Structures are given as C-alpha cells and as structure tokens.
Amino acid sequence: MRVIDSHTEGEPTRLIVEGGPDLGNGPLSERVKLFAAKFDNFRCFAVDEPRGYDAVVGALLCKPVDPTCAAGLIFFNNAGYLGMCGHGTIGAAVTLAHMGKLAPGHHKFETPVGVVGVELLDANTAKIENVESFLHLKNVEINVEGHGKVSGDVAWGGNWFFLCKKRPCELVTSNIAPLTAFSQAIKTALIKADITGKDGGEIDHIELFSPPVVSTANSRNFVLCPGGAYDRSPCGTGTSAKLACLAVSGELKPGGTWIQESITGSRFVASYRLGQNGGIIPSITGRAFVTAEAKLVRDLNDFLLAG
C-alpha cells in the first residue's frame, strides 16, 4: 500500500494513493459502507499500530462520481469512519499538489457527506468550503460523573459535536490527560442520556473552549476525536460546528472572520456564508506539509499484523 503522509496545523493525514480496496464506482456514501463491511482490514492496516498511531487520520483517494470533482475522499481513523474531515481535506489538497495532480485554484472534492470546495492557494495553503453546517440542539444539560451538571450545544460540521461550555482546567498541552478524561465522561453521559444528533447520529466528537493564548485569535479549543486521541489542529469540522453556533447566537456575521486556535497553538482562519437549508457554509483556511512517502508492507509472518 502506497501512502503519503502530511500534517495540517499539526494533525496528521495519511492519504492512500495506491493499494487500497476496490470499492467500485457508486456514490461515496455507499462506498464507505462497503469499506466498513468488507474491507475494514485496510483501515486497520493503514492507521493502527504498528504502522500508525491513534492520532493518524486516513484518507482513501477515490475516483469521484461527479466528473467536475478533482478527487473523492473517504476518511477514517483508529475507531472507524468519518463523514468529513477538514484538516484531512486540506492535507489531501496539498498532497495532491505535491504529486503534481492539483494546481493552484478552485476545485471540488467528493466526500461521503457531500461535495466540498477546495481552493489551493499555494503549495502549502488551502481553503475549504465545507458541507452545510448547523446547530441542532442548544443549551443541552447533562449530568457528567465527577463534574455535575454540564451544558453545551449539539452541532453538525460534517461530523457531530458536543460543544461544551465548561472546562475542568486550562486548555494547555500539560493538561491533555484531565481534558481527555473530562471529554470522555461527557461522551459517556450523552450516551446514557440518549442525546444524539439528527436522525440518531452519534455525537462522536467533544469540543471544549477557552479564551485564546494569542491575542489575534478569537478562541482556543480542545477536541476529543472518536478514537480517544485529541486533535492537534483546531479541527476543521469542529470549527465549522462552532461557526454554526456563532451564527445562531449572532456573535459572528456572514463574511466575518473567526480565528480558531488549537490546544497546540496552531490556527485556522474561518468565515461563513448562509446555506440554502437554514444552516451555514463554512470556509476554513489552513496550512499542510508533506512529511513522508512510504510503502506499507504486509508480512503474513508478522505477529503484530494489523488488518
């Protein structure tokens, strides 16, 4: 399996460019189901140990159904499959440019949850226009073991998020352990309370906020991803969900700029326009850098063979 690794504002993406599963030519929403049902060993092989680690997000490069799209992308991690991945889309765009397959300018990528716009600004910078995002539930209150009552919003940004209004400690890297434990307790409480996204969608991302460290940013966040790893970037879909909440509250107008700072100090520059279905269309700009080109080897005698 041939892969090209990159990081987007600190968060890794592993793009499978050769040797992935043959999923046919159907809609990506159907291809991801086939991936999960019959070819999950490819996911494990690409991102699980010993070849990967918890923070790696994988992306399978696919032929799009829509001929106007430059590529199709199916995202996954150590726990399963993702509808959309903002940092991964930026990483894929920069990787395709590195491969000589994408020129600066406007493009479109297909994902399992819809078509996203991609503007490659230079060799390392891309701006994505995400799927329509929206606030689903406002001021949801849950009882979190060890922390009492916690409130937050449920929003869609390509994945489902619980955006929490409480934090147990400062959002700094030395507090990763307690922030992770708190976020996992929130997820457990959401399941116990049977709180979901629209149509029963699992809320698989937890997002905490604090004032930024750098004065030029608007907010700092900590995002716990489905597999238990934290996002090193400000999280593209999480920033999209945040913009949807800001739009409803009137704190950010269409076209206004929101600079989201991650717990590691990296930043996304974001804004939005109004969508056609009552939500918003977020734009997220970030930087990515190719870090490795590799061929993953499957040795059937390897006792740690994943997948």
225 noted as active-site residue: no
> Are the CB atoms for 269 and 218 separated by under 8 Å?
no
Instruction: Report, in angstroms and rounded to the nearest whole number, the Rg of the chain calculated over CA atoms.
Output: 18
Give the C-alpha separation, 16 to 52, whole Å.
13
CA-to-CA distance for 153 and 33, rounded, in angstroms?
Answer: 28
Neighbours of 214 (CB within 10 A): 10
Which residues, including other chains, have CB under 8 Å from residue 217's CB and lie 6 or more apart? Answer: 259, 260, 261, 267
Instruction: Compute the Cα dihedral for 123, 260, 187, 147 and give only its sign.
Output: positive
Tokens 């006792």 belong to which residue? 303
Bridge-based pairing state of the strands 71-76 and 205-210: unpaired
Q: Using CA atoms in the order 281, 270, 66, 83, what is the torsion angle rounded to 10 degrees?
A: -80
Cβ–Cβ < 8 Å for 255, 290: no
Q: Would you give the DSSP letter of residue 24?
A: -
Catalytic residue among 62, 69, 225, 235: 235
User: Which residue in the list 69, 85, 164, 225 is annotated as catalytic?
Assistant: 85
- Is 85 catalytic? The answer is yes
Q: Which of 210, 209, 211, 267 is nearest to 235 (CA)?
A: 267
Residues acting as catalytic residues: 85, 235
